[in-house]
A and B are shown apart, each in its own frame.
Chain A
Amino acid sequence: KAGVTQTPRYLIKTRGQQVTLSCSPISGHRSVSWYQQTPGQGLQFLFEYFSETQRNKGNFPGRFSGRQFSNSRSEMNVSTLELGDSALYLCASSLDRSNYGYTFGSGTRLTVV
């Protein structure tokens, strides 16, 4: 079965712009989580969606937002981009919030210039 698909793979944006990243989970997975990965801070949790509802949110400013659609696809949006938002953004899906672990996408590499 198809894995977790993230688009686009790479993005270059200018400070102040906004960006939308997309994630298609594994078929049947209803939980989608987003993580930010940077060399300095490592992997950090952004938020989790389940059945179109945000269930949990990490410690990121309100510029970071997301949503989930009825087909479980998810998008995350970052507004008013800052240089520090440059990172690899990873999406992960699972059947539910469980101890089965998560399946990750390849990520979207965002560079803010």
Chain B
Amino acid sequence: GAGVSQSPSNKVTEKGKDVELRCDPISGHTALYWYRQSLGQGLEFLIYFQGNSAPDKSGLPSDRFSAERTGGSVSTLTIQRTQQEDSAVYLCASSKTDSSYEQYFGPGTRLTVT
């Protein structure tokens, strides 16, 4: 079965441009998470979607960051007016509501802002 997929795998953008990062969770997984992994900040939570509930946006670092999840499946993380400090690997994870609650991670999108 397919795991969590993310696209693109690498993205280089100029400072000030907007970028969209995509996550395809495992089919049937109701929960979807975005994390960011950077040299300076380590692994940090960004946002969490659970079914039709309002997302937990408490980890988004600024209002330049937003995310949506359409149809309870695919999610897009958008960063507007990118800054150099946004350079990081963006990881997506999904999990299902069962006894394990294990989060399955995608391979990540490496974002470089020049």
A and B interact: no
